[in-house]
Structures are given as C-alpha cells and as structure tokens.
Amino acid sequence: MTDTRPTTPVVDVLCVGAGFSGLYAAYKASEQGWTVAGFETAPDVGGTWFWNTYPGARCDVESVYYSYSFSEELQQEWTWSERFAPQAEILAYINHVADRFGLRRHFRFNTRVTAANWLADERLWELTLDSGDTCRGRYLLAGSGGLSTPKDFDVPGLENFTGLKVSTSRWTISLDELSGKRVAVIGTGSSGVQCIPLIAGVAAHLTVFQRTPNYVFPARNAPLPAETVAEIKSKYPAIREECRQSPGGIPDRPVADRAFDVSDEERRERYERAYERSGFLGVGAEFADLLTDPEANETAAEFVRHKIRQIVRDPRTAALLEPRFHPLGAKRSCFGTDYYETFNRPNVSLVSLREEPITTMTSGSIVTEGGSHDVDALVLAIGFDAFTGPLYALNVTTPSGRLQDAWRDGVRTYLGIMTAGFPNFFMIGGPQSPALASNVVVTIEQAVDWITDLIAHAEEEGGDTVEATPEAQDDWVAITEATVDQTLYATTDSWYRGSNVTGKPATFLGYVGGVGKYRRMCAEIAKRGYPGVRIGGQAVAPRIGRIDEEIA
C-alpha cells in the first residue's frame, strides 16, 4: 500500500512507527482531540510483525494476553486460534485494529524518518523524512520498537558468499526456495530456534552454526479450544487487570519457596510439571530464587541439560547443545517446537562456533577453524541492535546535541519514557522501561496512557514544554541498576545489556522490577503532580529519590 498524501505541516503529536506502540499512541492522541502525523518505514502497519515473516515466527507470550486491552469490544470480537499466535495471525490482528479504529489515516507509509530536530525557539519538533519533506509537531512519540533494527551482519567473510542470503528479521523468500538446498543457519536465539526445525524439513542438508547454546523449552503450542476462549472472554477485564498488576504482564503464578527448600525429588517433580506447562511461568519461574541465586539456578539448568541428553541421540551433539555459559533465564529463554529433536535428523548437523569460530566465507562455503562447510543458502538469525538502534536511527537532536551523544557512555532515562535535555520527546516501551522483560503490549499501553495524561496535564497547566530533570533521571537510572543488580541478569552478556553489539556501552536496557510495580510508581508520580518533570520550565520537585522503596 503506497500512501502519497502530503504530510500535515504542524500537528500536536508526531508519531514514529505503526506497530503496537505507534498505533495505540495515534489512537489515544486522536481520542484526546489532538492532531496526529505518523510515519512508518514499511508499506503497512505491523512493526515487528510486519518484518519478521521467517518460517515458524510466532510470539512466545500467549496470544490472549499479547493483545490490546483498551477496548472491551475489540477483545470480545477478536478470537485467537492458537495458544501462541503465528506471525501472520498477529499481523492480521494489527490490521484489524488499524481498520476498526480508522488508524491508517494518521500514518504516512513507505516513509522513513531520517532526522528529528528540536526547534527550541518555536518549541516544536521538526521531522525530516526520506522524501526530503519535513513535518512539525509539538510532541514527538517514538514507537520505533525495541527489536526493530537488525544487528550489523558481523560475520567474517560474508561479502564473499554469493549464494542465497536471507536474514530472519527481513525475510524475503518462501520456505520452498530452500527446498533441496544445503542451508546454513547462523544464530540460535528465539528466531533461529523457531525457523531451524522448519528449514530442516525442506533442506537437503542443514548446518546450524551455534555460538552460545541457550535454554530451549517445548512451546507446547496448540489450538485454543472454544471453551477456553469463551472463558477468557467472559473474564477479560479481570484478566487484563491481573496482567497490569503482575510482574511480567501475564497472569502471575506466585511462588514463595526457594529451590533448596524442597527435597531433590520434589524439586525434580516440580520441574517436570513446569516443563509440561511451558511458557514464561515454566521451569525458570518454579522457585522464587532462580533468578537471584546461582546455585538454585543451576538445579533448573541441569534439569534442562538432562532433557537435552534424553532427546538428542548423538552424545557429542547433545553436549554442544547443553547450555553452560549462562544461568537459565538470564538471557531470554527460547520456546520451540521439535527444536532439540531436529538434531536427530540425518540431514542436520551442528557446528559450535565456540570450538571452531568462522574465519571467512568463500562464494559457496563457510570456513571455520575446523574446516569448510559447503552451502547453497545462508540464513542469518543473529539478532538486533536492541532499543538504541531504532532510536539513534531517528537522529534525535536538540541545539545541545544528539541522543546518541547524550547516551555515549550508556542509556539514561526517566522511567524509560523521557530523557533529560530532550523536551517533548517520549519513548514508548523505551530502554529502562519494563518492555524488555514483559509482555510488551501491557508496557506499551501503560506508557502511552501515562504520556498522554502527562501531556494533558501540561496543557492544563499552560506549559508547552515537558522535560525530565537530570536529577530524576539519575534517580531512575539508580533504581534500574539497583533492581537488576539483585538478579543474575546483571552477570550475563546478552542483548539485554547491549553486549551483542560491538562497542555498545554495557547498560542494562530494562527495568526488571515488574510491570505492576512500575505502573504503581508511575501512577504515584502522576498523583504527586509529576516530580522529576519540568513543565514549562518549572519542576514540582526535581527528584523522585528511591520511590521503588516506598511503593510495594
């Protein structure tokens, strides 16, 4: 779909991205009676779910929770067909939402924002678009996504390879095109884990190049029975409220006991039941101390390794697949279908890049320290430049400098929503928000609601600028760091900490204290009249202190 309408010259709200964030922001802003101009690089709505069309792509959060809660009519009329929705169904849902609420009219598609400049004298943001057009607005909301900028293809010799090359995050071929070919997949995160079994089903031979083995649980995806759907729909408002107040944005299953509070036998039985349950409240959430105590975590990690040894017949392959380099859950766990079983197929082999790193590629082979692997097609599933990648691509600039310069030594935000020195600029599901460790749709709705309430409050107060104070930002950074330092996330290299991108400063990119607690802190800040925010140059109070210690 090509949208050729001209951009509106000055609007109330500029919105970047037409995924879950941008669409809800546009909806909410127009409900407030504000004018909106939105921009989307893709030809249509969907964001992440527009681009990630690789075989097997599906959400690892249950579909009945991974959806908007703002409209009771919407949640009653839409029916999810599977426990974990496939990409196409999520994209159909987002299209349905866009049509139902008339949201496409706010967006200009096929349009990339190349720069965002704060015009201090006029108190306006000016966006420059790839067409060369500009558009001005009072507030800028970035719904550009956390996992939307693919990581650079940092694989040696890639430019030499002349066969078919495709990345999971910009999938452009049909699975049939890999049929009968010798295929390589590089990367075994969530994307690799989901596509590997399906590619193995059509390829003449599949070689999986694994750098770090991760913990992969059987997703146990299944059709959603009509009775389950009816029951959820009958209780949707209560279920949504439970999600909002929960740690992860899905109904919680609180556990108080620790791994060593129970006998070895009871622990094993509980892991078995959790393994059957699967999902984010599976094995990794079975005891209260699994993400804080390395020894407790090791009991769960060893349980998974044992499963791998039971499933994978070749002992050497099983050993290479066993995750040993990080605690379970400290890097996002993966959920797959027949993942480990795939390595029992005669046409599948595994190369451990820890044992034999890639040294280069030729036109038709991947060369490692252990030898040469001839392939016809190469699938890259190597991840994203999370959070900062998409924000920096906007070139957000004030007269004092660019966002990437302000964050040169690491990300610094107020609530993951604002950043000092950048007035009227808001991030939806930004770094240091709970987005990274939650059902992101819950985080998105909460952020948009909080931002629009703040803007409405500023308008009532007669202030035309809204900006975080540096002191409150320091407080929030201290809170996010103190929270993550209590967990094993802090000790593990992952995209959560920016360690997957060369040169990216190591800052943890999320708040891991839970969406419920985060929501309560944000609500308290609003109730107190927005300490930490300068409205029209005035701050109610510059700091929030350790508000996390005041709020349960």
Give the position of tokens 């300490």: 531
Rg for the chain, CA atoms, rounded: 24
Interface with ligand NA7 includes 419 (CB under 6 A)?
no
Interface with ligand NA7 includes 431 (CB under 6 A)?
no
CA angle (187, 439, 21) in 5-degree steps: 95
Query: What is the smallest separation between the CB atom of 191 and ligand NA7, expressed in angstroms?
Result: 3
Residue nearest to ligand NA7 (CB): 189
Size of site (CB under 6 A) for ligand NA7: 20
Work out which of 21, 221, 500, 507 binds ligand NA7, going by CB under 6 A: 500
Contacts with ligand NA7, 384-413, as mask; x by CB under 6 A: x-----------------------------
Dihedrals phi, psi of 15, to nearest 5 degrees:
-130, 130
Query: What is the smallest separation between the CB atom of 278 and ligand NA7, expressed in angstroms?
Result: 15
Dihedrals phi, psi of 305, to nearest 5 degrees:
-60, -40
- Please state, in angstroms and rounded to a whole number, the distance separating the CA atoms of residues 181 and 184: 10
- Please state, in angstroms and rounded to a whole number, the distance separating the CA atoms of residues 372 and 72: 57
Interface with ligand NA7 includes 381 (CB under 6 A)?
yes
In 406-475, beta strands by DSSP E = 425-427, 466-468
Contacts with ligand NA7, 304-343, as mask; x by CB under 6 A: ----------------------------x-----------
Give the position of tokens 């049509």: 99
- Please state, in angstroms and rounded to a whole number, the distance separating the CA atoms of residues 229 and 80: 8
Query: Under rule CB under 6 A, which residues in 231-260 are in contact with ligand NA7?
Result: none
Nearer to ligand NA7, 104 or 332 (CB): 332
Contacts with ligand NA7, 348-367, as mask; x by CB under 6 A: -----x--------------
Query: Under rule CB under 6 A, which residues in 200-229 are in contact with ligand NA7?
Result: 211-212
The CA-atom distances, in angstroms, between 363 and each of 159, 334, 377 are: 9, 32, 11
Nearer to ligand NA7, 34 or 171 (CB): 171
Query: What is the smallest separation between the CB atom of 151 and ligand NA7, expressed in angstroms?
Result: 6
Nearer to ligand NA7, 219 or 396 (CB): 219
Query: What is the smallest separation between the CB atom of 61 and ligand NA7, expressed in angstroms?
Result: 9
Distance between alpha carbon 507 and the CA centroid of its chain, in Å?
A: 16
Any idea what DSSP says for residue 151?
P
Which of 260, 386, 369, 404 minimizes the C-alpha distance to 331? Answer: 386
Instruction: Point out which span in 27-35, 284-292, 302-310, 379-387 binds ligand NA7 (CB under 6 A).
Output: 379-387
> Beta partners for 142?
16, 427
The CA-atom distances, in angstroms, between 480 and each of 32, 115, 330, 361, 414 are: 31, 29, 16, 41, 10
Nearer to ligand NA7, 464 or 493 (CB): 493
Instruction: Point out which span in 107-115, 380-388, 504-512, 514-522 binds ligand NA7 (CB under 6 A).
Output: 380-388
Interface with ligand NA7 includes 383 (CB under 6 A)?
yes
Query: Under rule CB under 6 A, which residues in 152-191 are in contact with ligand NA7?
Result: 154-155, 186-191
Nearer to ligand NA7, 38 or 383 (CB): 383
- Please state, in angstroms and rounded to a whole number, the distance separating the CA atoms of residues 116 and 125: 7
Interface with ligand NA7 includes 504 (CB under 6 A)?
no
Nearer to ligand NA7, 382 or 415 (CB): 382
Please report the DSSP string for 12-39 in residue order. Answer: EEEEE--SHHHHHHHHHHHHTT--EEEE
Nearer to ligand NA7, 424 or 500 (CB): 500
Q: Is 351 exposed, middle or buried (0-12, 13-18, 19+ CB in 10 A)?
A: buried
Which of 318, 114, 108 minimizes the C-alpha distance to 210? Answer: 318
Work out which of 24, 101, 495, 518 binds ligand NA7, going by CB under 6 A: 495
Query: Under rule CB under 6 A, which residues in 109-148 are in contact with ligand NA7?
Result: 147
Query: What is the smallest separation between the CB atom of 187 and ligand NA7, expressed in angstroms?
Result: 3
Nearer to ligand NA7, 213 or 516 (CB): 213
CA angle (472, 473, 476) in 5-degree steps: 90
Chain residues that interact with ligand NA7, rule: CB under 6 A:
147, 154-155, 186-192, 211-212, 332, 353, 381-384, 495, 500
